[in-house]
Structure formats: C-alpha cells, structure tokens
Amino acid sequence: MKPYLLFFVALLAGIAKAQDPGFRLPEQTKGTASRADANQSVQSSGGITGAAVLTSMEVLDNSRQIMPGYVVSIRILEDRKDAVQQRVAVTGEVQVPYIGLVKAAGRTCRELAYSIKRDLEKSFFISATVVIAIDQIPETDSIYSKEIETYTVFGFVLKQGKYDLPDTEDVTISQAILRAGGFAQFADKKNVRIVRTTPQGEKSILVDVESIMIRGQMQKDIYLRKNDVLIIPEKTVNF
C-alpha cells in the first residue's frame, strides 16, 4: 500500500477512535478459532445435543439411564428422515419407527440404540445405524407433580398394559389397539368393549373396530378418556 494511503487510513482510524472509545479495527480470525469458539458456546449453554446432529453409535451416551418423563430423540440414518422426538411414557416405553413400542427406561442411549438396531436388521434394514439422545431431563419428580392420565388395554392384543393418554393429542380406540401392537390371533374385532367410569357409575361401550379398520367407518372410532379400560375378547368359534 502506498504511503499516503496508509496515512489516510490511520487518520480515519484516529478520528473514529476519538468519537467512539470502543472502536477497533476488524481483526482477521482463523476458521479453526471461530469453530472452537462456536463449540465452546454450545457446550457452555448447557443444552443437550439431539439425535439430529449425531452420526455414529459409538459416541452415544452410555452412562445415564433413560427414565420415564425424559424427552428423547431417535433417528435411523439409513431412513433419511428427521429425528423423532418424544417423551418416555410412564410405562417406560417409546414409539420407534417400524418397530412400535420399545422399553427405554433403565437403558442408556447406547444400549437402547443397539437393541433397536438388532430389531431393525431382522426385518427392515440390512444394516441400521440408530442414534439416540436425551433432549430434556425433567426436574426432580416434576413428571409426577401432576397426575398422568392413562388408559388400560386387556385381552387379545400383542401388548397388554397401561398406556399414557397424551394431553397434547386425542387417542381413538383404533389408535390405542395399534399402539398395543394390534390384534392378537383369535381376537374378536367386532366386539371390543370400553369400560368407562362416569359420575353415574361404570358405562360399557361396545365398538366394532373391524368396521373402522377394514371398512373405514371412522364415525365409530371413539376417543378415549382418562382411566378407560379396553377389553378385547376372544372370538367365539362355533363348531
């Protein structure tokens, strides 16, 4: 740079500094330094990295056990879809793509990921890379600070038990049966019964679920309420 140009730049810098004591000339930073600063800011923020940014199962957490109430994210790399984020149910289960409900409570992210990987590779993928992260940990006992609404499924389904009734979405009787793994062999799909507690006492509602799932008669797909009990009986066979 020519001497008179250097003098001109220095003069402008002096004027700017006099007008603004906090003024300083821009500094050239190396790319590696800026990346380090960015990483440091992420780590210092205290946030938990989600499955969306993980690409290897070897880096998954293997120390903290997942518990009911935790919010986790699950992603199957070969599926080429976004991570699925959900809260672990009071039963300790989470919904996994392709598989359905899987027990998560008591397992670390790495243990759960390898368990899901084995199941996926049995029927759906030649090789599956599953990444799981804990996105949110509730405050101590906060998940139990309010009553968790549930419903129960008994009878001829693949997974009997108690299930969470989400407060953010409605669940119908057909959805509840699918969540329980679907009908078992010999289930009477036409005579599914809901036992519901009302101020007037117990009420029994008979639902033809086969007409909902097979014929699309969605007007029969009743929404579940807190403490509903679904009973799927065995089909009566007459010889």
In a domain, 226, yes or no: yes
Residue with tokens 């989600």: 50
In a domain, 39, yes or no: no
And the tokens for 62?
Answer: 């293997």
Same domain, 114 and 194: no
Domain count, the chain: 2
Where residue 202 falls among pLDDT bands split at 50, 70, 90?
confident
In a domain, 96, yes or no: yes
Same domain, 195 and 221: yes
Same domain, 198 and 135: no
Same domain, 140 and 158: no
Position 94 pLDDT exceeds 70: yes
Give the C-alpha separation, 182 to 176, whole Å: 9
Give the C-alpha separation, 138 to 112, whole Å: 20
Last residue of some domain: 100, 117, 144? 144
Same domain, 221 and 191: yes
Give the C-alpha separation, 50 to 136, whole Å: 9
In a domain, 138, yes or no: yes
Q: Cα-flanking dihedrals φ and ψ of residue 177, to 5°?
A: -70, -40
Position 187 pLDDT exceeds 80: yes
| Domain that residue 61 falls in | 51-144
pTM of the entire structure? 0.51
Give the C-alpha separation, 99 to 121, whole Å: 11
Residue with tokens 């998940």: 143
Same domain, 157 and 228: yes
Backbone dihedral region for residue 92 (phi beyond 0: left; psi -120 to 50: alpha; all else: beta): left
- Write down the H helix ranges in 136-228: 173-179, 209-213
The pLDDT, as a whole number, for residue 239 is: 52
Encode pLDDT of 41-92 as tens digits: 223 233 444 888 888 999 999 999 999 889 999 999 999 888 888 888 888 8
Last residue of some domain: 144, 177, 204? 144
In a domain, 74, yes or no: yes
Encode pLDDT of 112-131 as tens digits: 999 999 999 998 999 999 99
Residue 111, classified by CB atoms within 10 Å of its CB into exposed (0-12), middle (13-18) or buried (19+), is: middle
Higher pLDDT, 215 or 140: 215
Same domain, 140 and 166: no
Where residue 29 falls among pLDDT bands split at 50, 70, 90?
very low
In a domain, 46, yes or no: no
Higher pLDDT, 140 or 210: 210
CB 227 within 8 A of CB 151: yes
The pLDDT, as a whole number, for residue 48 is: 41
Same domain, 167 and 199: yes
Same domain, 134 and 159: no
Within 130-191, strands assigned E span: 130-136, 150-155, 161-164
In a domain, 94, yes or no: yes
How crowded is residue 133: how many other Cβ atoms within 10 Å of its Cβ? 23
The pLDDT, as a whole number, for residue 144 is: 47
The pLDDT, as a whole number, for residue 14 is: 52
Which residues contact residue 77 at a Cβ distance below 8 angstroms, ignoring those fewer than 6 apart?
A: 55, 128, 129, 130, 131
In a domain, 35, yes or no: no
Give the C-alpha separation, 27 to 30, whole Å: 10
Q: Tell me, what CATH number does 168's domain have?
A: 3.10.560.10
Within 37-120, strands assigned E span: 71-76, 84-87, 93-96, 100-103
Q: Tell me, what CATH number does 69's domain have?
A: 3.30.1950.10
Last residue of some domain: 94, 128, 144? 144
Percentage above 90 pLDDT, the chain: 40
> Per 3-state DSSP, what percentage of the chain is helix, strand, and coil (rounded to 5)?
30, 25, 45
Same domain, 198 and 218: yes
Where residue 138 falls among pLDDT bands split at 50, 70, 90?
confident
